[in-house]
A and B are shown apart, each in its own frame.
Chain A
Amino acid sequence: MTDITDRDLPLPAENRAPRTHGVLHWLRVNLFSSIFNTLLTLLALYLLAITIPPVIRWALVDAIWSAPNGNACRGDGACWAFVGEKLRFIVFGRYPYDQQWRPLLVVLIFVSLIIASCNRRLWGRRLGALWLGGLVAVGVLMWGGVAGLPYVETLLWSGLPLTLILAVVGMAFGFPLGILLALGRRSDLPAVRAICVAYIELVRGVPLITVLFMASVMLPLFLPSGFTVDKLLRAQIAFILFAAAYLAEIVRGGLQAIPKGQVEAADALGLGYWQRTRLIVLPQALALVIPPLVNTFIGAFKDTSLVIIIGLFDLLGTVNAALSDANWQGFYVEAYVTVAAIYFCFCFFMSRYSQMLEREFNKSRRR
């Protein structure tokens, strides 16, 4: 503006600097900044208005909180009495009723181990030892047969403990295998590379269901006659083999991100292949891929729900069994919402944690 006198004139009302605080300002900027935005806001409000009140009425206002059986529980609202009646069965399944403190303890061990693993100051050998001790304790508690605990066969393991065991053991054993596969895929030896690539691509190219089918139907055929593997172990082997292929690709991403100079420097120091890999390459590569590893763990946790296909009673299996009770029929929405909430708590917490890690890692890398 070249005309200086303009500056002295009072600005017209609409040109004054807008208020930058207060509820009205926030509403204007965030909800009603343009005609299109206003329409979107109104549409969203309309959708909320037609969905939220009926849901609240169903879940809270009209809900029935206690009832002796299913027929006494039919109304317009949810039947939370069903969940109250069946929750213990859904979580612990067919594990002997008077021994269910053992799986409860197992769940607590897993939860505290997961929470402990989120503390980055604990990362290292000590955490590994902690997990090893935890897994041993889980095995002793679930199987029993020692220290006065009655023996419980794996066919009776079910519910949340089974889900956690499948996911954690699958990752724990799949991880070393995945590292070996990733190293093999990056190897200079063509035969080793070809076999690793074939394995990884084969497993990643087929659905988990086929791997589970294979473990449950074909594994018994693969073994010498007279040699049997129980159902849980078969599913666990399938999980380990499946997880290893996915973990291998993640580890490979980390290996590729390590500058060549690191390997050359290790060679110059006279380190052999395994020393170089163990002391120089892997520590750096694995640190880079921790956030995607957490995401893979979330995926494995959700994927355990597929064992229902080969007849194991994980969380999804127990809830379906609970739904087939003749006294309580038709409360599938209540049941599935409850189980969904359990899965959600675990997955949401872990995904939040992985997002936080990713942010922190990016921060330190940018510096």
Chain B
Amino acid sequence: MAGATAGIVRPKRPPPWNDPRVRGIIFQVLFVAAVLGIGAFLVHNTLVNLHRQNIATGFGFLGREAAFGIGESLIEYAPSDTYARAFLVGLTNTLYVAALGIVLATIVGTVMGLARLSGNWLVRKLAQVYVETFRNIPLALQLFFWWGLLRQGAPAPRQAWHLLPGVLVSNRGIVFPVPQPSPVYGWMGLALLIGVAATWAVRRWATQRQARTGAPFPTGWAGVALIAGLPLAVFAAAGAPLHLDMPELHGFNFSGGTSLSPEFGALLIGLVVYTGTFIAEIVRAGILAVSWGQSEAAMALGLSQGQRMRLIVLPQALRVIIPPMTSQYLNLTKNSSLAVIIGYPDLVSVANTTMNQTGQAIEGITLIMAVYLTISLTISASMNLYNRAVALVER
């Protein structure tokens, strides 16, 4: 503005119907009114319909007796327990398969992603065949396939396949021995915790010393020795008390040991194999995103291949990898709801039975949605925290 003394000439206010602010407010009021109106219409219809069909509302049913059995459960459950308890069983089953699935899919995906970048032609092509095949077949179909294979392809318990001594595969699932409880295991757990703490201290000391003197210290090996060595030392010192609870054939089924049902096995295999393909592609893209100049610079500094990967490439690749990895973890957790089609009693499956028994579909679906939203938000919040830790810190 040239005339500084004249002050700022304000443009004349437009008439209210042309003022963007006024128009914005009017539009928003109309929009919210429309959304609320539609919502109220639906709620009204629902209440009328529920009343007409004599369906109860509210979460009172949670305290009543469930009266249906659940095939497998991590916590104590009997049909005489309440619906709330049944939901809890479903929730623990969902979390169990999702947690195991996330760990295993990360391992499978990372190995396959690295294999797709391997210098070995055969390994590279095999990994590519794995990724392209299983990524392009719907998960539901894969679950039916694995389930059919485990249930009908596997022999009856009498002719079970002996994979390892004590590990038996039959159409009743996989049974394997578990160690019988012993007080020594508690001490081993304590030793493990001490090992982890000691590793953390060693790492701190080694980093400080390297910053001061430049002398490196093999923290990785020391950590392995502490974390694995201490519990093993306790185990050996206590006289190695290993009593396995071996599964044995009694009549038509096994007793002893622990078993995984075919449903659980199929769900876990399906989730891991399917999500593994997506994680493989994410890992591959993340590593390719680190420019080759970084590797060349690392080589010029004389770092070995392992050091180059660990110190230069991976920290930068992780920044690219973590956001899409988070959404894959979320996908895996949400996809575990497909358990309902093969009959693994996860949250959705339990809720489905409940809805059929009580007719209270709205409450059942609300519970499922609330649980999944909580899980989703928790996973993405924790991954965001981790992401912040590895993100590029700029000036």
Category for how many chain B residues contact A:
35 or more
In whole angstroms, how far apart are the Cα atoms of A36 and B376 in the complex?
41
Docked-complex contact B144 and A336, CB < 8 angstroms: yes
Looking at B217-225, B331-339, B381-389, the stretch in contact with chain A turns out to be B331-339
Partner of B120, one of A40, A188, A206, A223: A40
Chain B window 31-42, contacts with chain A (Cβ cutoff 8 Å), 1 for yes, 0 for no: 110010000001
| Residue A324 at the chain B interface, CB threshold 8 Å | no
Which residues 139-167 of B have a CB within 8 angstroms of A? 139-142, 144-145, 148-149, 152-153
Using A44-B123, A45-B122 as known contacts, say yes or no to A213 and B365 having CB atoms under 8 A apart. yes
| Residue A56 at the chain B interface, CB threshold 8 Å | no
Which residues 175-232 of A have a CB within 8 angstroms of B? 188-192, 195, 202, 204-210, 213-214, 217-218, 220-225
Docked-complex contact A207 and B348, CB < 8 angstroms: yes
| Residue B137 at the chain A interface, CB threshold 8 Å | yes
Residue of B nearest to A341 (CB): B137
Docked-complex contact B49 and A221, CB < 8 angstroms: yes
| Cβ distance A103 to chain B, nearest Cβ, rounded Å | 20
Chain A window 269-313, contacts with chain B (Cβ cutoff 8 Å), 1 for yes, 0 for no: 000000000000000000000000000001000110110110000
Residues of B within 8 A of A224 (CB): 45, 48
Residue of A nearest to B149 (CB): A333
Chain A window 328-342, contacts with chain B (Cβ cutoff 8 Å), 1 for yes, 0 for no: 001011001001100
| Cβ distance A231 to chain B, nearest Cβ, rounded Å | 15
Residue of A nearest to B115 (CB): A40
Residue of B nearest to A202 (CB): B373
Using A214-B365, A217-B355 as known contacts, say yes or no to A207 and B334 having CB atoms under 8 A apart. yes
Which residues 166-192 of B have a CB within 8 angstroms of A? none
| Residue A33 at the chain B interface, CB threshold 8 Å | yes
Residues of A within 8 A of B24 (CB): 188-189
Number of A interface residues in the complex (CB < 8 A)? 54
In whole angstroms, how far apart are the Cα atoms of A217 and B365 in the complex?
9
| Residue B309 at the chain A interface, CB threshold 8 Å | no
Using A191-B31, A218-B365, A222-B45 as known contacts, say yes or no to A343 and B372 having CB atoms under 8 A apart. no
Using A189-B27, A316-B141, A343-B141 as known contacts, say yes or no to A206 and B369 having CB atoms under 8 A apart. yes
Which residues 7-59 of B have a CB within 8 angstroms of A? 24, 27-28, 31-32, 35, 42, 45-46, 48-50, 52
Residues of A within 8 A of B132 (CB): 348, 351
Residues of B within 8 A of A217 (CB): 355, 361, 365
Residues of A within 8 A of B365 (CB): 210, 213-214, 217-218
Residues of B within 8 A of A344 (CB): 133, 136-137
| Residue A31 at the chain B interface, CB threshold 8 Å | yes
Docked-complex contact A222 and B137, CB < 8 angstroms: no
Residues of B within 8 A of A189 (CB): 24, 27-28, 31
| Cβ distance B349 to chain A, nearest Cβ, rounded Å | 10
Docked-complex contact B136 and A348, CB < 8 angstroms: yes
| Cβ distance B300 to chain A, nearest Cβ, rounded Å | 21
Residue of B nearest to A26 (CB): B121
| Cβ distance B231 to chain A, nearest Cβ, rounded Å | 30
Residues of A within 8 A of B153 (CB): 333
In whole angstroms, how far apart are the Cα atoms of A204 and B376 in the complex?
9
Residue of B nearest to A306 (CB): B140
Docked-complex contact A308 and B341, CB < 8 angstroms: yes
In whole angstroms, how far apart are the Cα atoms of A320 and B148 in the complex?
11
Residues of B within 8 A of A210 (CB): 337, 348, 365, 368-369, 372
In whole angstroms, how far apart are the Cα atoms of A195 and B38 in the complex?
13
| Cβ distance B377 to chain A, nearest Cβ, rounded Å | 7
Docked-complex contact A209 and B340, CB < 8 angstroms: yes
| Residue A30 at the chain B interface, CB threshold 8 Å | yes
Closest 9 pairs (CB-CB, A-B): A347-B136, A30-B121, A332-B148, A302-B138, A207-B334, A305-B138, A207-B337, A217-B361, A191-B28
For this complex, 18 residue pairs linking A to B, each with C-beta atoms less than 8 Å apart, are A30-B122, A41-B120, A44-B126, A206-B372, A207-B334, A207-B335, A207-B338, A213-B352, A213-B361, A213-B368, A218-B46, A221-B50, A222-B45, A225-B49, A298-B136, A303-B138, A308-B341, A336-B144
Give A residues with C-beta under 8 Å from B. 30-31, 33, 37, 40-41, 44-45, 47-48, 188-192, 195, 202, 204-210, 213-214, 217-218, 220-225, 298, 302-303, 305-306, 308-309, 316, 320, 330, 332-333, 336, 339-340, 343-344, 347-348, 351
